[in-house]
Amino acid sequence: MRGIPATFVAVLTAVMILLGYFVSLPALESARTLLLGWAVTLVSVAAIVGVFNLVAVHWRKLFIPGRERDVYSAFFLLAFFVTLVVGLWLSPSDAQYQHIVTSIQAPVEISLMAVVAVSLAYGVLRMLQRRRDLMTILFVLSVLFFLILESGILAPLAYNPLLKQILHLVNRIPLAGARGILLGIALGSLTTGLRVLFGSDRPYRG
Partner 1 sequence: MASSIDLVWVFVGFLFTVLILSYVLGDNPFFRLASYVFVGISSAYLVVLLIYQVILPRLVQPFFETSSSQLVLHLVLFVMCLLLLTKLSPRLARFGNIPMAYLVGAGTAVVIGGAVLGTIITQVKATVAYRSASAEIMPGIRVLEGLVILLGTVVTLAYFHFGARTKTEGETPSRPLWLEMLSYLGRFFIAVTFGALFVSVYVSALTALIERLSFIIQSVPMLLKGLG
Map the footprint of partner 1 across residues 148-177, applying CB under 8 A: 150, 164-165, 168-169, 172-177
Q: How far is CA 10 from CA 1, 23, 102, 117, 156, in A?
A: 15, 20, 38, 42, 58
DSSP structure class, residue 92: T
Residue 34 C-beta-side C-alpha neighbours within 13 Å: 8
Question: Shortest distance, CB of residue 65 to partner 1, whole angstroms?
Answer: 20
Near partner 1 in 31-50, by CB under 8 A: 34-49
Answer yes or no whether residue 127 interacts with partner 1 by CB under 8 A: no
Q: Which is nearer to partner 1, 67 or 204 (CB)?
A: 204
Binding mask 74-113 for partner 1 (x = CB under 8 A): -xxxxxxxxxx--xx--xxx-----x-x-xxxxxx-xxxx
Looking at this protein, which amino acid is placed at residue 73? S
Element spanning 146, H or E: helix 134-151
Question: Shortest distance, CB of residue 132 to partner 1, whole angstroms?
Answer: 14
Task: State the angle between helix axes of 95-130 and 71-90 in degrees (0 to 180), rounded to the nearest 10.
Answer: 140
Query: How far is 82 from 3, CA to CA, in rounded Å?
Result: 41
Answer yes or no whether residue 57 interacts with partner 1 by CB under 8 A: no
Site residue total, partner 1 (CB under 8 A): 119
Question: Shortest distance, CB of residue 138 to partner 1, whole angstroms?
Answer: 4
